[in-house]
Amino acid sequence: MKFKANFVEKPANFQMDDCQIEKVVELSHEDFCRLKITPLANQPFLAEHKKYMFSRDGVIHCLLALGQGSNDGILVDAEQYDCARLAAYIPGMRDIVNAKMDRAADFIIRWGTENTASGSWCVYFEDLEEHLDLTVREGSGFDSMLRAALKRCPEVAAVDMHDGCIKMEYHPEYCRQLNGVSKNEALGPRLKEILPVLAGGGLTLLTHEETDYVVLPEKLLKLNAAGQEDYAALLDARVAEIVPGPEGTEVVLTEVAPEELVRFNEAHEAERAMGPAMGGRYGPI
């Protein structure tokens, strides 16, 4: 198998450094080749962007240089010089950044189209940092790449960025609430609405993504009025999906704390051990 790699004579170690890309700089093909072939020569673009390159708290804050017609990238911290005193060559870096931008665009579109009641939505740069660990600032280069990624999406009618806010305008046909489908309806029915059907359809297990506990629908159907009130949160859970599992059909629940499944199972086992003489929350509904 043929491959390209940058071998270093007598390397001290291969530890990776923590870094934060502060700005993306697009270079001409000639300038990128100059940086790649002679990194210790003076590079005019580094002199223009020194404020973006520094080290703080063990993190290298650097530039990302991309070249026209190239898929690779070079991370640079000039350390206040005009040459690449610290640098790392990253093959396929443009694809890596584009994939990150596409993921951010998908997040912005899904969040907006599922919640907007007007066709407009605003996402702040801080939201991207919190949910995607992506730092975007105006003028950083990432903002223009993200804008381009959003404009390629058919859901987007217009996009504007200012004051740390990404202001979106969506085409109405992609907005759930503008098409008569509320967010709750899109999530699926309440468990209590389809419980009798689930209980009579063969072995069915009620599950949750965040716990290994399962609940049998038949047990919920035996709850009396007091039991239904006590476990109202579980009965009001929404059905996210119904999928085949190794032990039977799995009904995945959402909009309910996973502890509710645990609490129901523990209480059910305790009341079954005490017997009907102890009262309890089971009986005809």
Q: What is the pLDDT of residues 184-231, one digit of tens each?
A: 555 578 888 888 877 665 678 888 878 777 888 888 888 888 888 888
The mean-pLDDT minimum among 16-30, 42-56, 267-281 falls in 267-281
Report the chain's terminal Cα–Cα distance, integer Å: 68
Q: Is residue 58 part of a domain?
A: yes
Cα separation, 110 vs 106, whole angstroms: 6
Q: Last residue of a domain, which of 179, 213, 237?
A: 179
Instruction: Provide CB contacts within 8 A for 46, sequence distance 6+.
Output: 53, 63, 76, 78, 81, 82, 83, 84
**Cα within 13 Å of Cα(208), Cβ side:** 19
- For the record, the structure tokens of 44 come out as 């005019």
31 and 111 within one domain: no
Which residues lie across from 59 on neighbouring strands? Answer: 56
Q: Is residue 7 part of a domain?
A: no
> Quick one: how far is CA 83 from the chain centroid?
37
Q: Taking 60 as the threshold, does the pLDDT of residue 1 lie above it?
A: yes
Cα separation, 27 vs 33, whole angstroms: 9
Q: What range defines the domain where residue 62 resides?
A: 19-91
pTM over 0.85: no
pLDDT of residue 279: 46
Q: Taking 80 as the threshold, does the pLDDT of residue 157 lie above it?
A: yes
| Tally of domains in the chain | 3
Q: Is residue 8 part of a domain?
A: no
Q: Is residue 14 part of a domain?
A: no
201 and 245 within one domain: yes
Q: What is the CATH number of the domain that holds 174?
A: 3.30.1370
- For the record, the structure tokens of 195 come out as 């419980």
Convert 95-122 to b/e letters by CB count within 10 Å (16 or more is b): eebeebbeebbebbbeebbbebeebebe
pLDDT of residue 277: 42
Average pLDDT over residues 153-178: 92
208 and 195 within one domain: yes
Render pLDDT for 66-92 as a digit per residue (tens, 0 to 9): 999 999 999 999 988 999 999 999 999
Q: Last residue of a domain, which of 76, 91, 106?
A: 91
pLDDT of residue 113: 92
126 and 101 within one domain: yes
Q: Last residue of a domain, which of 179, 201, 234?
A: 179
Q: Is residue 61 part of a domain?
A: yes
Which residues lie across from 242 on neighbouring strands? Answer: 251
